[in-house]
Structure 1
């Protein structure tokens, strides 16, 4: 009666009465009573019911005692024994849940196994007993982590489902899903999670809304969707998790024992969405639900540590989102409480320790406290002790330990931490399956560890490993993955490291591409953005230092300023000190480029602040002190203040003293220290300073192994220091040592080519005085650097600046002069060819014939060259690198070993196959000529004793004053009435100049030619320096020679080797009387000029005025073999490639022509002004319109040194074309020189010097 009434009303008084009466029945009945076992069994059930209500251990113990006595009284063959075993198992299981004693779980399993064994296949309770056995195996798996237990749990639960009736099936499916969930959580197999979702979804579909287990099923499925979101980051899964967890809460009344768990689960879903969408409102909601869950949980509840941990995770996420220290401290508080409440055998203690370690590490990154970092490592290692090697989270925890050791190494510099970092990173990678979603992250982490090791030990194997692992990480990461920027950042840094180490520009280009993508992928509010901006800035600075484009440096400074603006003083990951140091480095580089002292002062200010903000022992303090020392040294070199040099030495010496021998940066630090001591030696002439410089230079050299990008500079530094010591002490052994260091360095193509250029010239200068036999080697070493100094991948304007800044023209004149003095005439010719017209020659190289190459290589070379040609002013590095790779492959072909390499004299001399070529060199100390003749194997030298560079410049100035800057169409200068006595006419001035040139330059050359039996024919001039733009062709009293000019010997060779167009000669004419703008002087003579040409060559294709547009002129250039351009032309002195022809409506720039394919080009006649006037800024570059058109592909060009008289154009054109096309002939390109010679012979019969002298012929 009492038991029945309790079942109806759940009144505990009724339950107590039931237990009382059942106990009396057991006590009063005899021990041999046949129903005693049943009475004990019933009593045990009532005690268990009371335990479930009051959670009293006393009741549970009574239930166990009753159940055990009942079993003991039940024979082994009694059909009711299985039922007794099941009840006893349930009591043991309950006590296990209460006390967590593994012995109770073993007892429960033993009873359940026997119960299942005694239960027939068709028994109605078999399904329940199989289910209970599966649950116990599941419990033991959770307790002991034995993989076989979860397999058994799944096995028995599957068996139970096959036997279960519909009433129990949903509960069994839910239990099966829980086991699959546990196996997923343990082994990380996505298929287990998919099965859990499938079974839980099936359960939910079959469960009505009013079912008391509906909320439990919603909760289970919500957790599963949340877990899948964590793996796949599919927002559909996150939305479902939120919906299901919310529905579970809605069905869970206040006071329900599962309400806290379900509130926590809902909080987790909101926290996931907050992190995914960076939504602070969701983060607040998550914290609210988790706080409610914690408030509902008593202090001694076994779930309380988990709820504390979950709260800590949300606060840590909010900190990452908002950067507020208060959130991080809250995370730490809850993490610590969770760990304190977790017993040593608590199931989730590992997770709680890991979370605490992570929060401590976050605070270390924020505040830089070593104590936080050490505690993070301590807790991380404690967590690892509780975790088996095959646990799915094992690799993640190993990765965390690697990060902690990396930060310790960066903080303290202990190599044991670096070794531990690499060890843990490798273990983490080894324990991560190929299809694991975190594999990319661990690959990047391992790449970072190898990079860290490379930066210390300079082992290229580590750098190769870093690149390999990081590239793989990028390859397996989707374009929209949030971590892609991080992986690309590390990849870019590794490519940048390899560029610094080996000097390969292809690595620099890859670094730049990746860094640009990183910045594009990183939102402005992302805390990693300052570091990413810095990475891109460093790469731009590296490219500037290598290629010299000031746009790169300005881009770097802009990025560094943005990084500084985004960086707070308290942000430890990329702190203010790091940003200041980087900005200081960029300003220092700009000072070295532009020489603006203000930049250096800013650099000094920023780097001093960076050093002040960096604690002693910090791994980056050394680098910042090093940079500060360099800046002080730069200021000393600028201002000469010894106090600055002393400060520089102080900082540089300290960085060397505290940098371990094993550190890769020590080499660079030693070089800088040696340079500072060398500076002090140059100032004070103290022997101990040069000895110190040598000591540190030798140590740096010993560290720079073969192939190291710094080795060449280290060799040159040693050589330079020995030069200084030799000058001081005159030791013969030093004199013997000097060449070996410079000769070895000259064979290398690594390091800073500009610095190497200066060092090799210093050696050459020394050799000229002390070791003349090494002069040529020194000069060859320097001039072989020109392809790196004037890299074809740079914009033309950058290369022009480099020519000026490196003083290439004057250095070429010096080298040529020195070789001539030592009678090394072949070397002099080769050096002139390498050092003069470098940009011009690069243009010619893009047109190099490759018909004898294998077909595919030839076509690829043409394609690359044409693309470069068309891109002209702004080529891409990738394109240049691909072309260079192809050139290397071509040089491996037999007969092409010297393809596009500097030509030896025995090749260059064939430029004289059509007649002598005269090279003129002007130097401040002397002026010389070298004649190359086809009839003699050796060049012939002619000294001009009465010619100086100063006199030549005076003549050029006089010439400019004579012809002025008049454009075609303006009247020539004439004498005005009333001129003062003694005035010299322009004609007389010109005559005097021509006479001087004949007496001092041209006449002596004619005499030498006559002594070699050459009295007439073709003759080419190659004037350089102060000789340029002087009318050498016009000063001979007789016209026995036909004069031409050439910019280089190679251009003549190219013209000779180019096969003439196979089609018949086609003449295109462009005539512009006026441009239509009204701004330029009209050219009335152009119409007559075009008419005269049409009369001489009726088939000529003539365009006049409105027809002469840019597009029409371009078609003429592309389609015609001979082109005549009668129009205005202007020379751009700042950017010669911007020189232009003024056509109707707009202008055609030389830069545009250089990019055009001109397959038919033979001869161009430029009847415009200033078409052969070079750039006074770069006198040896021949980038005037005439020379530029030869570089574009024409074999010969006719132009003017200054503007022609408008009346002369028609006559010269008539005479020129009438001779060429007489009697229907098809002229060759080489006929143009004679035709001009004859035309000018007629012109000068009736006009003054100033009108016939400017006409010149260039090319073959």
Structure 2
């Protein structure tokens, strides 16, 4: 018996040596001999012998190694069977138990990759977590256990048989937090691994693959930069001839390709092709990873062809894709994807040369018949399927393509970005080929739902943080649940999370860089993981709230019918501008759906042209305004009617500003007014004109719709002859305020004023002090509670306190826009600056009216595609019901005249004394009155138009 045991031990050691030789050289004959030897060792070891678990573990590891080389499913099944037996036979507390658990978990993860059974991934995580928990902190194998546990959720990030199996694994598990956990554990493993350790290159490779996997979900450039950095180090450290070198090169090449597709840098795609070519050249024939590596090489060559048009690249791409297909067994799950890529390469060459070979036709037909719908959510295959259908005028192909788009868009699994792309592509294809299809709306609704997910808490930005941190009062007020107990419990939990835990979450990872010490990266990753945990808790809280009857849509976009119920006694006009058409949707009280008003004469091209014309004229206007300011500072006396400079630009009816306003009138505004049935004011019998809220989108957000009109010639008319205009950044910004009438606390009713005429680093603003003092005197004469602070009297903190104490505020100061971080846009004071984000975070319960007599308050930013983020809209977000701002920098004298006229109108009693109250409800009419008075003091020059146009009203 002892002789037998000794012989089995020798066989076991011999088998292990064969396995190690294979791992170094990749020689399959060595591995086959090792498996045979280890089988004998197991057979000769008596049941119950202490060595049996170790022999079983080693045999399982050998089967596992052969599976990774050949892809034979039976090998991984054998591996799991013997490794499970090894774990079962190893006593609790035995020093080898962590190793046996680790190997079992690794094999279960490999089977999950192949079969997709979710129980395998759960069992793999359980086994490898136990291995880590049972391993002492200073144990030499702990880095390897951590590595394997880290790689379980992402399931070996790079597949040997597809371009990126990681996306399949992530689709199945669906947890971005799993990737963050993997990165954190791998960083810890690296921190514990000494320099020169033979396992270090694989650790670096796996960490890089995890970064790449997260990049594919988040699109953070720092992630793909980190991936390339650590994978490059892994390639540099691994010895030439090592069996794993092709794997490391393949993964590095894929990361370079990912960055190229984001940045377009040709050096990245060149590096990708170089690494992948080496990976292919070093992979032995018959290796299970070879088809995938040929496929990846072909994809990169095709990408470079799309960029450069070099025909040799697409020829080489077709050759590589053809080899990938030829090396893949019929019926393999990857074959459809490989055929897709081959067909796409043939399609690309056909589109370039007009030649479609017989082989190409055959492959395209194979693609059509072989690919299951679930694999057709690849944007590449969809794009080329659509273009093929269109070019051949084959409606059957087109309809099939559209059905695949739909299947991908509504799939239960898969990254939201893929679903968004599929839904958007389907909608665009329908618009182009079936413009009357009702499915267009459905597709866009699906796309919008995915946008909400993508913009969720997993990618918290500064804007989301500010909204979250400002949430308590508004969240609690919205959460009107059926019982006091439920309201208190859930709203407090939501308030606590949004106001404290989430306000600083989500920004940690963006601070990472490739040169940062590992300890700092680990700390940042831990913060990111904590944030993902909070995101899950937040989602659970939302589910709890939405389970209550009547709150199914809590914190979701409102339905059209809900929006229509909140429309005030006037009209809200949303103007949608796109590449193909322009339309207005008018929301009217009493209707259950919007009124559609087509605007066929307008286009996104015209909007951009008009904006450019205005920008050019504004530059000249500001130069002239600066001259006026210098003259004012020298105490130059102007005439009673103010400055009358020579008109800027061309004279006559074709003057640039007049031309823009004229075109806006005929192409946008007049069709809308006619569609709504508004009459000229001289036909209304002297009554107050109706209100109208403009909600423009895209480049139209930067154009003065409220001033559109005819200002030259005998038939002059403009918007102000029909309605009093206001703006709103969103429909709900008006409807919510209309439904929830503000009841200002009598103690807070009043007006706080400040002037900041000489801010360090900014040009002086003469006249602001006299402006504020004149308004204060008028308020006091009307019995309105009012207070002013000037210059250095006011600190930022004191201003925030006054905003709490007074329902209305008048800010006569400079404003500064921050296009990169809109919440850091600010008002400039002598003693610091007040940022928009800080105002939004304040709980302004009694906020009513804000008058921003400042530069750059409603300018917006042309880099933001769909809406203008500016100080005026920001004050609405902070809780003010109505805000006066300007579309561009204004002259000092006109600013003072408008402000004083505005308050004179607002503070004049309509029916007796005001008894100390202050109500901004008539603020839109007050601004209309003030700008009319200013217009009467000016001529009809371009300069004069640019003087009064910028004043705008936002809100109720």
- TM superposition score normalised by structure 2: 0.81
* Residue aligned with 2:583, SS: strand
Q: How does 1:298-337 map to 2 (within 5 A)?
A: none
Contact conserved, 1:429 with 1:443, CA < 8 A, in 2?
Answer: yes
- Indicate how the Cα distance of structure 1 residues 1108 and 471 shifts in structure 2: closer, same or farther if over 3 A, else same: farther
Q: Within the alignment, does 1:637 sit opposite 2:306 as a pair?
A: yes
1:947 is displaced (CA, Å) by: 3.6
- Post-superposition shift, 1:426? 0.6
Cα 1:669–1:994 shift into 2, 3 Å: same
Determine which of 733, 743, 754 is the counterpart of 1:1051.
733
Would you say the 8 A contact 1:1069–1:1124 is kept in 2? yes
1:784 is aligned to 449
Q: Does 1:1034 align with 2:707?
A: yes
Matched, 1:768 2:431: yes
C-alpha distance in structure 2 between counterparts of 1:977 and 1:1106, whole Å? 35
* 1:369 partnered with 2:18: no
- Distance in 2 (CA, whole Å) between partners of 1:738 and 1:361 is 48
Give 1:1198's match in structure 2, choosing from 880, 884, 895. 884
Task: Decide whether the 8 Å contact of 1:455 with 1:665 is kept in 2.
Answer: no
Structure number with the bigger relative contact order (C-alpha 8 A, sep ≥ 6) is 2
More helix by share: 1
Question: Which deviates more from structure 2 when the two are superposed, residues 1136-1145 or residues 987-996?
Answer: 987-996
Aligned counterparts of 1:1160 and 1:416: Cα–Cα separation in 2: 71
Residue deviations 1:499-547, cap 9 Å, x none?
Answer: 2434443433333333333333334333322222222222222222222
Matched, 1:1142 2:815: no
Kindly indicate whether the alpha-carbon contact (under 8 Å) linking 1:409 and 1:415 is maintained by their aligned counterparts in 2: yes
Q: Which residue of 1 aligns with 2:214?
A: 543
| Pair 1:852 & 2:480 matched | yes
How far apart are 1:354 and its partner, in Å?
3.1
Instruction: Decide whether the 8 Å contact of 2:811 with 2:851 is kept in 1.
Output: yes
Pairing partner for 1:526 from 187, 197, 200: 197
Q: CA, structure 1 residues 1061+515, in 2 after alignment: closer, same or farther (shift >3 Å)?
A: farther
Larger Rg: 1
Deviation at 1:1163, TM superposition (A): 3.6
- Shift, 1:1006, TM fit: 2.3
Equivalent position SS for 1:793: helix
Contact 1:694 1:718 in 2 (8 A): no
- Report the CA distance shift for 1:744/1:408 in structure 2 as closer, same or farther (over 3 A): closer
2:262 aligns with one of 566, 582, 593: 593
Change (3 A) 1:956 1:721: closer
User: Mapping of 1:523-672 within 5 angstroms?
Assistant: 523-572=194-243, 575-660=244-329, 665-666=334-335, 668-672=337-341
1:393 deviates by: 3.0
Match of 2:586 among 922, 931, 936: 931
Which position in structure 2 is the counterpart of 1:501? 172
Q: From 409, 432, 437, give the equivalent of 1:746.
A: 409
Unpaired segments ≥5 residues, structure 2: 156-168, 509-527, 632-641, 709-717, 909-913, 939-943
Are residue 459 (structure 1) and residue 117 (structure 2) matched? yes
Paired residue secondary structure (1:526): coil
* Residue aligning to 1:1175: 861
User: Measured at CA, do residues 520 and 668 of structure 1 come closer, stay the same or move farther in structure 2, by a change above 3 Å?
Assistant: farther
Change (3 A) 1:540 1:1149: farther
CA distance in 2, matches of 1:468, 1:1061: 57
1:433-459 Cα deviation digits (max 9, x unpaired):
333343333222111011111222222
What is the CA deviation profile of residues 780-812 of structure 1, one whole-angstrom value per residue up to 9, with x for unaligned ones?
333333224544533649x9xxxxxxxxxxxxx
Deviation string for 1:793-839 (max 9, x for gaps)? 33649x9xxxxxxxxxxxxxxxxxxxxxxxxxxxxxxxxxxxxxx99
CA distance in 1 between counterparts of 2:503 and 2:922 reads: 28
| Residue aligned with 2:178, SS | helix
Q: Distance in 2 between matches of 1:1054 and 1:871?
A: 28
Task: Go from structure 1 to structure 2 and tell me whether the alpha carbon gap of 1:961 and 1:395 turns closer, same or farther (over 3 Å shift).
Answer: same
Task: Output the CA distance in 2 between the equivalents of 1:571 and 1:717.
Answer: 34
- How far apart are the structure 2 equivalents of 1:1193 and 1:452? 54
- Taking the aligned partners of 2:647 and 2:679, their CA distance within structure 1 comes to 49
SS of the aligned residue for 2:21 comes to: helix
Q: Which residue matches 1:1257?
A: 953
SS at match of 1:1127: strand
Change (3 A) 1:1179 1:729: closer
Q: Which residue of 2 aligns with 1:391?
A: 49
TM-score, structure 1 length as denominator? 0.63
Once residues 442 and 648 of structure 2 are traced to their aligned partners in structure 1, the CA distance between those partners, rounded to angstroms, is 58
> CA separation in 1, counterparts of 2:806 and 2:720?
35
Structure-2 residue corresponding to 1:921: 576
CA contact (8 A) 2:744 2:807 kept: no
Contact 1:1075-1:1144 at 8 Å conserved across structures = yes
Which is further off, 458-467 or 1127-1136? 1127-1136
* Aligned 1:971-982 pairs, distance under 5 A: 971=627
Q: How many residues align?
A: 867
Deviation string for 1:609-638 (max 9, x for gaps)?
A: 121122222333333222111111111222
Partner of 1:1236: 927
Which residue does 1:71 correspond to in 2? none
CA offsets, 1:86-120, max 9 Å, x none?
A: xxxxxxxxxxxxxxxxxxxxxxxxxxxxxxxxxxx
Where does residue 669 of structure 2 map in the other structure? 1002
Q: Tell me, in whole angstroms, the C-alpha distance in 2 between the residues paired with 1:1220 and 1:699.
A: 73
> Hey, what's the Cα distance between the residues in 1 that align with 2:297 and 2:762?
56
The secondary structure found in structure 2 opposite 1:527 is coil
Q: Please list the CA deviations of residues 612-668 of structure 1 after superposition, one character each: whole Å capped at 9, or x if unmatched.
A: 122222333333222111111111222233432232233223323333467655554
Counterpart mapping for 1:1018-1029 below 5 A: 1018-1029=691-702
How far apart, in 2, do the equivalents of 1:621 and 1:1070 lie?
72
In structure 2, relative to structure 1, the CA distance for the partners of 1:722 and 1:604 (3 Å cut) is closer
Deviations 1:717-753 (A, max 9, x none): 7776665554455556556545543333332264355
Does the aligned pair in 1 maintain the 2:150–2:186 contact within 8 Å? yes
Q: Secondary structure at the match of 2:372?
A: helix
State the Cα deviation string for residues 816-875 of structure 1 (Å, max 9, x = none). Answer: xxxxxxxxxxxxxxxxxxxxxx99999999955542243333233333433445558668
Of 545-554 and 635-644, deviating more is: 635-644
* CA separation of 1:722 and 1:617: change in aligned 2, threshold 3 A: closer
**Could you say if the C-alpha distance between residues 526 and 719 of structure 1 is closer, same or farther in structure 2, counting changes exceeding 3 Å?**
closer
- The answer to whether the 8 A contact 1:967-1:1169 is kept is no
Unaligned runs of 5+ in 1: 1-142, 145-343, 705-710, 800-837
CA contact 1:456–1:665 (8 Å) conserved in 2: no
SS of the aligned residue for 1:918 comes to strand
Q: Decide which moves more: 617-626 or 477-486.
A: 477-486
512-521 or 723-732: which moved more? 723-732
Pairing 1:432–2:65 present: no
Contact 1:929 1:944 in 2 (8 A): yes
Q: 1:1093 to 1:394 in 2, by over 3 A?
A: farther
Determine the structure 1 residue equivalent to 2:714: none
SS at match of 1:1198: strand
Match of 1:86 in 2: none
